[in-house]
Structure formats: structure tokens, C-alpha cells
Chains A and B, each alone.
Chain A
Amino acid sequence: MKSRCKRVIGVVIVKNNWAVQSSRFNNYLPLGSPLKLVENLDRWGADEIIIKDIDASANNNGPNFDLIDKIGNLGISTPISYGGGIRNPVEASRIIRMGFERIIYNQLFLKSDEDIFKKIANTIGSQAVIISIPSIIKEKKLFFYNYLKKEIIEFDEKKLRKIEPYYSEIIVEDVLNDGMFNAFNEEMLELYLNKKFKNKLILFGGITNLENIYKYLSNNSVEGVSIGNSLNYKENAIQNIKKYLIKKNPDIVRAPYFEKKIL
């Protein structure tokens, strides 16, 4: 009775309290209310929803608790994670209390030492912590991308390994293919796989092709694919992705209920 479904994750990128379409971490077009998008993803059967508030770290004001509260009040039944401006265990814990299951940090990883990650994990549990890493390949080597400073920096593998007990998954963000069509850089996946991190990967950036989604999810080290822009333009996008995946392998993802009848 072994069952280990992989996850098709919907991403809502928020800027100035608006959901936006992002392109290469640089250009943003407004899509509408983030609340509406979250409700849609819940209804469509996303396996998880990620809220990525890109202003929060830039302003250094901490997480956007006003938005977090509004999303928490929606009462959705899909697991939901928040990333944006988290600085300490108190803020992390408050986000969980407000109805989120997991938190995501990126800038905190770049600028903090081991102790803060340990404290966050000791409070909310490392299963509730995800690290997001905007990544770039240069001359066949991985680099981090600091989107706030718009600079490419050294890939700090040592730090990632040191804090391994304090987070559960890594979101690999393909910066140059963010917002592009069918473009996730497979060389990037290979480079991450070669590093053999203990914790599993979630892929993000230019993932639109069904065949590729199936290929990525079939990899034992990949736990999920996260999709942003393309889900918002197509009717039944999540259902269609899952229908395709389930046809290839009935156990690879969870089928949405309303889909079961027609499969």
C-alpha cells in the first residue's frame, strides 16, 4: 500500500498587494486579487499553494500580515505556504497561527547565520520550513541570485548543508526562465541532483510542458513542481496537468475529486 504522491503547486506572486505575473525576477504585470487566485487554486485541486510576497523583504518591514490574515480568513482546505520578509521565529510562528502550514525564506538565508534557522525550526518544526533559492548557471556552475540587489553571488553549499536539519525542502528557482514558456533549465536540475542534498527539491521557473512535468516528478529527488503564470491563463489548467500525469502513472499525483468521474 505504498503511496507517495508528488505535488503540483500553484504559486501566487504578490507585489504591492497585487498578484502579478513575473518574468525573470525583473518585470511584473498585474493579474488581480491574490485572494481570488488563492481561492481558484484551492477549488481547482492544487496540492499546495505558495504565496511569494516580493515586496516584503525589499522594504524590510517583515511579512505582510495584513495579506496573510486575509488569506487565512478564506478558510481554504489546501495546504498553504508563505514567503516574504520573514526575519525570526516569532514572525514564523505568527504566520502558522494565522492559518498557513509552512514558511519559505530566501533573503534570510543569504544574510543570517545558523542560529536563526535552528531557532525557527525549534519553534515551528523543520517540516514547516522551506528554503527558496533563485539560481543561475554560469560556465556550468551554480550561483545564487539576490533579486533585491540584482547580483549573482557564490553558491553557498556549505551553509545549505550546515542548516540541513532545519528545513525540509528546497525550491530551485530558475531565474532566467522565470515567466518563460517551457523553459526550465534541466542542466540546473542536474547540477542540484549531483549535489545529493538530503532534502527534496521543488522546481520553479518556466515549467509548462506536460511531458517535462511528468519527467521531473518521476525523479526521486523532486517532490513537486511549482507553477505560477501559466495556471492563471488557462481554464482547468491544474486538472488537465493532473489528468495527463495520472494517465501516465495513476499514483504520481492526487486526483482532484471532481476529476475522478471522468478519468
Chain B
Amino acid sequence: MSKISIIDYGVGNLKSLYNFIKKFEQNVIITSNKLEIYSSSLIILPGVGAFASVIKTLKDRKLEKIITKLADDRVPIVGICAGMQILASSSNEFGKSEGLNLIEGEINQMNNFNIGWRKIKKIKKQSAIIFNEENHFFFNHSYKFECNTKYKICISATEEEVNSIIIKDNIYGFQFHPEKSGIAGEELFENFLGEVL
């Protein structure tokens, strides 16, 4: 059975994600153990946290290089919310910080907080990400991922456009929280797991 590792970097809504993945009858663990991470079929970088604080704990636990290595080895890596943002090259949240640079881009402040339920729109029809465009997904952020159009799969818009799903090869970023988006999130993520595992 495939093993899914939720990376424990000290912050992030670990238990929410763990309970969510369990719903799909997957073998999932929360871990910062290098051997466990190396033997995973899918890596999840959880959300909820400030960029610099997440990157710092990743570095403190010496997990940064393992994640980069797994990315090179084509292991699927998915970042959710703050977990997506650390995939970027750099961020301006509470000062300039460097990210994992797995998807080239920059994290910049939005004009307003984007908190609540939003629809998302698929702009790359060929992508394997499947969901109902009438559904709403839960967003909770005030910084956004700005990157080259070629990585953008889905967008959402309130006052500002937000890159909701980005993909580069085996690296996936979800700006919203599928684990907190009710049945809509479950449908989307079940399809996603079917594609990547």
C-alpha cells in the first residue's frame, strides 16, 4: 500500500489533514523522520503558518534537502496553503525569506485577507485535476503565489485573482484547504490521489 507522509514541521493543521486523508483509507503518517519520509509515495506539506516560521522549522529539522531530493526523484509533493507557498522561490511575508524554489515564483501580500468559501475555475482543461466548478472551497490567506502562467491550473477571484492550484511536473500546490472544504474537498482530493498514487 502507498504511504502518504504529512510533514511535521512544528506548525500546520496536522490533525485535520491526517483525519482527512484517513477518509480515503490510505496509509498516512505524520512525521519528521527522514527514513519515513524517504520511503513515502506522496509527501504533503500542511498549511496554516507564517512563511518564515515554516521554512525555519523545516531547516531546523534538516528536512529541506530531503524534500528537494524527493522532488528530483519525481515523488509527488503537494503543498497546501502555507505548504504551497513554501514551494516558491521567495516570500515577502513579514520580511524577505527564501523558499524551497520547487516552483519558481514569489509570495506577495494581497490587498485584503482572502478568508472564506470561493469557487475555483480550471484554466488548463487538460489537467487531471477534477472537480465541480459550482462547488466552493475554503481559503484562508493574505499572501498569494505569483508565478509563470504555465504553472497555473486553477484560479479564483474575489477582489483579486488567486492562483488556487498550481502544478509543475510532480509538484502540486493548493492555495485552499481541501481538508476543510466539506464534500467538495473530499471529491477533489480523492480524484487527485487517484491520479498521483
Contact = CB atoms under 8 A, between A and B. Distances in A.
A234 interface: no
A45 to B, nearest CB: 7
Contacts, number: 130
A254 B117 CA distance: 7
User: Is the contact region of chain B dominated by helix, strand, or loop, or is it mixed?
Assistant: mixed
Interface string B27-67: 00000000000000000000011101100000000000000
B179 to A, nearest CB: 7
Given A5-B118, A6-B116, A7-B116, A98 B15 contact: yes
A169 interface: yes
Interface stretch (B18-26, B68-76, B98-106, B145-153): B18-26
A124 interface: yes
A122 B53 contact: yes
Given A77-B179, A97-B14, A168 B48 contact: no
Nearest to B47: A101
A1 B11 contact: no
Interface stretch (A51-59, A125-133, A152-160, A184-192): A125-133
B90 interface: no
Given A1-B121, A77-B180, A122-B94, A97 B11 contact: yes
Given A79-B140, A122-B52, A125-B82, A3 B11 contact: no
Interface string B157-192: 111000000000000000001011111111000000
Given A7-B117, A127-B142, A2 B158 contact: yes
Given A97-B13, A98-B15, 18 more contacts: A2-B159, A5-B116, A5-B136, A72-B16, A78-B180, A93-B10, A96-B48, A99-B16, A101-B13, A102-B140, A122-B52, A122-B94, A123-B50, A124-B50, A127-B140, A128-B140, A168-B113, A169-B115
A257 B183 contact: yes
Contacts of A123: 11, 49-50, 53
20 contacts: A1-B119, A1-B156, A3-B158, A4-B118, A5-B117, A47-B117, A77-B20, A96-B11, A97-B14, A98-B15, A99-B19, A101-B13, A122-B50, A122-B52, A126-B50, A128-B48, A168-B113, A223-B115, A253-B117, A257-B183
Contacts of A199: 113
A101 B180 CA distance: 9
B113 A93 contact: no
B79 interface: no
Range, interface on chain B: 35 or more
Contact of A3 (B23, B112, B118): B118
Contacts of A47: 116-117
B163 to A, nearest CB: 14
Contact of B138 (A79, A96, A126, A223): A79
A61 interface: no
Contact of A125 (B15, B48, B186): B48
A200 B13 contact: no
Given A47-B117, A123-B50, A254-B117, A96 B13 contact: yes
A205 B82 CA distance: 33
Q: Which 5 A-B pairs have the closest CB atoms?
A: A75-B19, A99-B15, A4-B158, A3-B119, A254-B117
Nearest to A93: B11
A121 B50 contact: yes
Interface in A146-201: 168-169, 199-200
A100 interface: yes
A73 interface: yes
